[in-house]
Amino acid sequence: MNDPKLCIIGGSPRSGTRNFADLVSSHPDAQLFGEVGHYALPNVKRVLNEMSAYHAEEEERRTLRGRGRSKNFTPHRVALTLTGMYAKSPQLPFNFNALTPTQVVGFKTPQIEKRWRLMHELYGGFENERYFFFCIRNLDQNFLSLHSRGWRKDVEEYVERLLPLLRSIVKFKTWNDKKGGGWHIHLLHLNAFIDSVSHEDWLFDRVYRPLFGDEAREAAAQAVANTGNRNSTLNVTGKPARAELTDEERHFLNKNADLRAAVERLNAAFRIDLPIITPR
């Protein structure tokens, strides 16, 4: 089976998932759709299970009859097709027959790492490289961006929602490393991208080379040149994100032991230095 490569972009909302998805999509060999709500995955699984059971029964009948061609039901491809149908802007199926193993298909779903086991169950059958990109940014900025975007929750609730993401991605990576899950898991730190001397070098090293190979440097440069950050707070709300935390918010983020522990584990697992509060 000539499966294309699979690319799923997850991570915390307002951490560059849209921007990185657009950067990947701008490559001519990539077809990414999205956004898909992570809550759609159980629906995809339910429909897929019903389809698989139906085709298994039919196949059994065919075998008993002793005639007819064997079915070609490939659950991982059907799972991707169904995922597209459940996207916020629903998509029709990829033409898998026209795709080659060097091409990349996938989607972006913030917070999907919370459901990494289900994600593996649905898409783990791709017989080609499978990439998962976890997008994150400095946590104070992540909170401020969410808040400016209209998410009217306080910092306590932000941490409560963030912790499962940080813990899940570490668990996913640990499981993948130990059990040979077959996923290439990368962390994309938005601040590192923004602050990088050369955006195209950064994008090439961390995204384009793994997905598209050593020849993709020029394509990475073009992607950076042609892709705007259409989901930036300024573009979406018409005003820049709130720039400063209140003292209470800063204090809470700094002193939360659970958050600190989760960030330390994340930093250790991915060998990065994600700060909770952006250094001045």
Closer to another protein by Cβ: residue 69 or 178: 69
Residue 35 tokens read as 């956004």
| Position 224 contacts another protein (CB under 8 A) | no
Q: Is the peptide bond before 249 cis (omega within 30 degrees of 0)?
A: no
> Which residue, 94 or 172, is less far from another protein as judged by CB?
94
Interface with another protein in residues 29-48 (CB under 8 A):
37, 39-40, 43, 46-47
Is residue 149 a contact residue for another protein (CB under 8 A)?
no
What x-and-dash track marks residues 83-112 binding another protein by CB under 8 A?
--xxxxxx-xxxxx----------------
Q: Which of 26, 45, 51, 210 binds another protein (CB under 8 A)?
A: 51
Tell me how far, at minimum, the Cβ of 120 lies from another protein, in Å: 21
**With binding defined as CB under 8 A, does residue 128 bind another protein?**
no
Q: Check binding of 50 to another protein (CB under 8 A).
A: yes
> With contacts defined by CB under 8 A, how many residues of the chain interact with another protein?
31
Q: Binding to another protein by residue 49, rule CB under 8 A?
A: no
How many Å is the maximal CA-CA distance in the chain?
Answer: 75
Residues that bind another protein in the complex, under the rule CB under 8 A: 37, 39-40, 43, 46-47, 50-51, 54-55, 58, 68-69, 71-73, 77-78, 81-82, 85-90, 92-96
